[in-house]
Structure 1
Amino acid sequence: MRRAMTYILPPNLSVCDAGGQRVFLDVAADRYFALSPAIDATFRRLVDAAEPEPGDAGRLEGLVARGILCSAPGDARPGYCKAPRTPRSDRDSFPDSEPRRLMTLAAVAMLGRTIVDLRVRSLERVLASVTKAKRHTVATAVTGCAARHAVAFSHVDRLVSSLDRCLPRSIALARAMIADGIVPDLVLGVKLRPFEAHCWIQHDDLLVSDHLGAIAPFTPILVL
């Protein structure tokens, strides 16, 4: 008997359930999007392995035609982004010490390079570079070492406005930590009503780049 075709997400897409609404991130196109209510309901039934309703087959094939799904044999189906560990503490837990001057200057330089990198290369390539660096890094530092980077980048915020720069700041912080033998999670999250996207850095259950309250409204949509 011929097995029914199933569907998966292409590698450039990730999805989360943000309060009952599916939100997608296409890193190749550097955009967020949602589906119409009827198609969103079809996609939810697919993820939940629920009984399909009339019209679902046609809508799923339409998502394949739009590049939102890929048909695949077997029992695989798309899933929501898996959230990292819930943070228990944030950068306020670090002592408010004065970072070494050279470390602060290195953080400024890393942020500058990352801003330029995002202007000349695609988001997909920049994120892929972070994933590759993590994959080739053997974690040698303990959680306490993250404090040095958190403090250094908080001092950078006093020199350079962090407004609307959570993405380059987070990528720069991740790169600095990886170079120091710390393997963090780079998290992109979204919230609705109104729509906003945010990016932050975690190391295990420690929120390195933010305050706990700042990320609370956001649902992770991509974790690297």
Structure 2
Amino acid sequence: MRTSSSQATITAWWASHIHAARCAGDLVLLDTRSDAYLHVPDPEHRLELVDLQGVRAPAAYIEQLAVAGLLTSEPFRGRRPLPDAPRRSQQGKLTIAALRDAVRLIATLKDVGDVSLGSCLAKRALRPRPDQAPSPDAAVAVFALALPFIKGQGACLWRCAVLDDVIDRAGGYADWVFGVRLWPFSAHCWLQIGDAVLDDDPDRISLYSPILAI
């Protein structure tokens, strides 16, 4: 029996603004241009992710993804590898200096405006990743002390932006990781260095499939 052209399996590449993750058997796509997520059901497991770059699927599926503007002709090589799941929480060291810096941070929180995925991506694009960075202990301690006074502490994007700014001022750098889950759908983000998460709990993060790191 011959395979029709619509059933032939081919590989296509995600557009630079599209990121994908396998989640609960299906695919979830993140469009960073519109800051929107898309659930792509895959009950027959016809869609196979190719690293972070693309997808392998029957031609009929690829055609639908292309019509939706999700694909490009060449793989985008600018994607940062997704880190392994964190196994521990980073504990900051409480010092007099941390207390002083926390008071200063609290005083400047009112100057932190609205935070969007687009603004975070733009900021990271202008910020080089250092070859060596200092320990985040001091920055994490300052953030932990200031956290009860952070008005947006329930919003992970805003919370990460504040901690990232503290780390940046100290000359450090952390991976900013975005994750998704289904049933019910939820998106989350956190800061991570190696196997340590800086602003969350590893058990909660284990519920999410990483989809983007910046």
TM-score (norm 2): 0.77
8 A contact 1:149–1:176 mirrored in 2: yes
Partner of 2:130: 138
Deviant stretches of 4+, over 4 Å: 48-52, 96-99, 109-114
The percent identity for this pair of structures is 25
Measured on the aligned residues, the alpha-carbon RMSD in Å equals 3.3
Tell me, yes or no, if structure 1 residue 9 matches structure 2 residue 23: no
Partner of 2:84: 85
Counterparts of 1:160 and 1:77, CA distance in 2: 37
SS at match of 1:37: coil
> How far 1:179 moved relative to its partner?
2.5
Counterparts of 1:162 and 1:41, CA distance in 2: 39
Partner of 2:39: 34
> How far 1:213 moved relative to its partner?
1.9
Counterparts of 2:104 and 2:32, CA distance in 1: 28
Counterparts of 1:109 and 1:70, CA distance in 2: 46
Partner of 1:24: 29
Q: 1:223 to 1:77 in 2, by over 3 A?
A: closer
Q: 1:81 to 1:101 in 2, by over 3 A?
A: closer
> How far 1:67 moved relative to its partner?
1.1
Counterparts of 1:141 and 1:108, CA distance in 2: 24
Partner of 1:103: 101
After TM superposition, list the pairs within 5 Å mapping 1:100-179 onto structure 2: 100-108=98-106, 111-114=109-112, 116-118=113-115, 123-133=117-127, 135=128, 137-143=129-135, 146-179=136-169
* Greater fraction of residues in strand: 2
Q: 1:149 to 1:7 in 2, by over 3 A?
A: same
Partner of 1:197: 187
Counterparts of 1:220 and 1:201, CA distance in 2: 12
| Structure 1 unmatched runs, 5+ | none
8 A contact 1:130–1:171 mirrored in 2: no
> How many residue pairs end up in the alignment?
203
1:144-173 alpha-carbon deviations (Å, 9 max, x no partner): xx1121121122221235553111111221
Counterparts of 1:45 and 1:5, CA distance in 2: 10
Tell me, yes or no, if structure 1 residue 94 matches structure 2 residue 72: no
| Structure 2 unmatched runs, 5+ | 1-8
8 A contact 1:6–1:77 mirrored in 2: no
Aligned AA for 1:12? H
* Greater fraction of residues in helix: 1
Aligned AA for 1:198? H
SS at match of 2:130: coil
Counterparts of 1:37 and 1:176, CA distance in 2: 41
> How far 1:217 moved relative to its partner?
0.9
Counterparts of 1:45 and 1:90, CA distance in 2: 32
> How far 1:209 moved relative to its partner?
1.1
Q: 1:51 to 1:201 in 2, by over 3 A?
A: closer
Q: 1:196 to 1:151 in 2, by over 3 A?
A: same
